Structure 1
Amino acid sequence: MRARRLAASLVFALAAGAAQAQDEARTPDAKTPDAAKAAAAKPAPPDLAFGAYQRGYYVTALAEAMKRISADDGDAAAMTLVGELYAQGLAVRRDPAEAARWYRLASERGDRQATFKLGLAKLTGDGVEKDRDGATKLFEKAAAQGHPGALYNLGVLAIEANPVIPDFATAAADFQKAAELGDPDAAYALAILYRNGSGVEKSDERAAYWMGRAAKADNLAGQVEYAVMLFNGVGVAKDEAAAARLFLKAAERDNPVAQNRAARILAAGRGAPRNPVEAMKWHILARAAGIKDAWLDGELAKLSPKEKEQVEAAVRRHVGR
């Protein structure tokens, strides 16, 4: 497990404060029932900056965010968006130092996402001096505001702080809070702790519950691990068909372990109909990634020349997606 940078698709709460302020300014008398009804019926103005960002119009997103900042130097959400654009090099040259500057401004104005991103920058030394203690303080600040990524990273740091005696109990508590807020990486990490009995009482059932949550939230490692648990009936009712679906889903995402398991499932016809060609496609892909399997090598040797041609074509299609 390691501290990780959240994807750019994380939602920035850009519209709420500005929209509320504009609605209030347009309301002649918010204390009267009629005015209150009118305000409630009036749609919030569109968030042009965030909308443009979501659609990939990054130049427009930057321009609209800067307009908002010019109109309100306390618009922390717009500042966070500008920081994200600089961090990723969208519409501007990538500039981690400039990204950190905007994150710092937004963090000072209370934006938890900016606080988290600045913490990541300090943790990795991206655009700012590397500062693990400073990163921890920022994660703690964001965590106090209910940021799941910050809680997850605090859990990772608790484990890494002392390699000899990792603080699994603190990590488990942080992972649980983050997982309950919907963080799939935290759900996966918590499942591993329950499986190993690290910082929590060992429980296959709790491990399966949180691994299932991670898998459902599209955590790739969680999908593979939960499929293994389903196939073997560990901590959850045995369900080879459900396991096969998860293995195949993860195999499509190029996870070598899942590709190997998918190959075995399709070669044996367990959990899914037998399909030697598809089985060997996954076997070849997994083998290319370093996973050896003598049994599957034997199954590959049994194929007819025509079937082997079909396997080669299937591999080319997958690689050329």
Structure 2
Amino acid sequence: MKTVKQILCGCLIFLAACSAFAGNKEAGKALYDQKKYSQALSRFLKADASRDAWVQNRLGNMYLLGKGVKKDPKIAFQWYTKSAAQNYPDAYSNLGRMYESGDYVGQDYQKALAYYEKGEELGSGEAVNNLGFIYEKGVGVKQDQKKSIDYYLKAAGMGNTSALCNLGQKYMYGDGVPENYESARKLFDAGSDHGDACCLKGLADLYAEGLGVQRDPAGAFKLYEKAAQTGSEDAQRKLALAYEHGLGVKKNASEAFRWYQEAAENGSSKAMERMARVYFHGQFGQKQDEAKAKMWLQRAEKQRHADRMPPPDVADTLIMRMFEEQ
């Protein structure tokens, strides 16, 4: 039979382990927020990743996006699966996204829908937002704008900033709702207050085009810059465009190239097409390089297919035809 001393020693060891786990988890969060991803990854792995669903889900995100580690959708899927096994709501949403995109797993819209619905049941605002998206676009379900808006409203009410952006875009373009720039601005403002990159970029678009507000290229540039720094590839492309044409900022070819490249590396098919033109024509101080131009066009075509986007610009199509005729 254990003595009181042995029991107390056991308790102290257990508490020390819990403290170390909590310390690594919190340190990992802080490092992640500082974009010190490699250090954050190390801390998360030192935390009790075999038991903590939040840590497992975050590790899945890092492996899926290649933050602090080489991108590996297979390992990301494994971490998400472990997290979902403990009923972590956002893990179901992330598994749904993988089945929707077909990234590592085979594309399966019905599985994606099932995972999103399970995430919604458990309280994931991100899963609810994703349901709004698939009904908006008709991905594996019959397109239903009313249902889509209802899901976006529900997700926004749960504090999901992506839903605020999606609603803002619908009001901005009059997609399924009457066009209303004021409503769009309010929604983008609300998300921007929380640092949402999509909302910052949407707000920048309003000021860049003067939609419902006084046109303000300099103000738009600052918003694009802020959104770009948080990782929005579309904002990075718009920032490059501003540097290229001097929109709200002095023209700067090297900065334009840097941000087009950043946006392209982060998955913007339009930026990939622009990079192809850069190398095909030898722009921004770069040497003509047909091999690089072709590589970027091929990557853009693959990305457009993955994003279910329309065909590229005429100029890019002509460049691709020239390569095909060689």
Is the 2:93–2:126 Cα contact (8 Å) retained in structure 1? no
Q: Provide, for residues 177-218 of structure 1, a one-character-per-residue CA deviation record: whole Å limited to 9, x for no partner.
A: 222222222222222221221210111121121122233334
Deviation of residue 112 (structure 1)?
A: 0.9
Is the 2:282–2:288 Cα contact (8 Å) retained in structure 1? yes
2:184 corresponding residue in structure 1 = 135
Deviation of residue 33 (structure 1)?
A: 2.4
Deviation of residue 166 (structure 1)?
A: 3.7
Q: Does 1:184 align with 2:233?
A: yes
Of the candidates 15, 27, 38, which is equivalent to residue 32 of structure 1? Answer: 15
Unaligned runs of 5+ in 1: 1-27, 267-277, 281-321
Is the 2:218–2:248 Cα contact (8 Å) retained in structure 1? yes
Of the candidates 168, 178, 190, which is equivalent to residue 217 of structure 2? Answer: 168
Cα–Cα, structure 1 residues 41 and 181, in superposed 2: closer, same or farther, change >3 Å? same
Of the candidates 100, 104, 107, which is equivalent to residue 149 of structure 2? Answer: 100
With structure 1 as the length reference, what TM-score do the two structures score? Answer: 0.61
Any idea what SS the aligned residue of 2:186 has?
helix
**Separation in 2, partners of 1:216, 1:69:** 32
Cα–Cα, structure 1 residues 77 and 201, in superposed 2: closer, same or farther, change >3 Å? same
Larger Rg: 1
Is the 1:250–1:258 Cα contact (8 Å) retained in structure 2? no
**Separation in 1, partners of 2:116, 2:211:** 42
Cα–Cα, structure 1 residues 49 and 207, in superposed 2: closer, same or farther, change >3 Å? closer
Deviation of residue 58 (structure 1)?
A: 4.5
Q: Provide, for residues 127-166 of structure 1, a one-character-per-residue CA deviation record: whole Å limited to 9, x for no partner.
A: 4443211111111222222222222222211122269x84
- Paired residues in the alignment total 238
Of the candidates 37, 45, 51, which is equivalent to residue 42 of structure 1? Answer: 51
Of the candidates 242, 261, 266, which is equivalent to residue 319 of structure 2? Answer: 261
Query: Which one has the bigger helix percentage?
Result: 2
Cα–Cα, structure 1 residues 63 and 209, in superposed 2: closer, same or farther, change >3 Å? closer
**Separation in 2, partners of 1:198, 1:214:** 18
Q: Identity of aligned pairs, percent?
A: 27
**Separation in 2, partners of 1:216, 1:148:** 17
1:89 corresponding residue in structure 2 = 138
Is the 2:244–2:252 Cα contact (8 Å) retained in structure 1? yes
Of the candidates 240, 252, 272, which is equivalent to residue 203 of structure 1? Answer: 252
Is the 1:99–1:127 Cα contact (8 Å) retained in structure 2? no
Cα–Cα, structure 1 residues 98 and 203, in superposed 2: closer, same or farther, change >3 Å? same
Of the candidates 249, 256, 276, which is equivalent to residue 298 of structure 2? Answer: 249
Cα–Cα, structure 1 residues 231 and 130, in superposed 2: closer, same or farther, change >3 Å? closer
Root mean square deviation, CA, Å: 3.5
Any idea what SS the aligned residue of 2:199 has?
helix
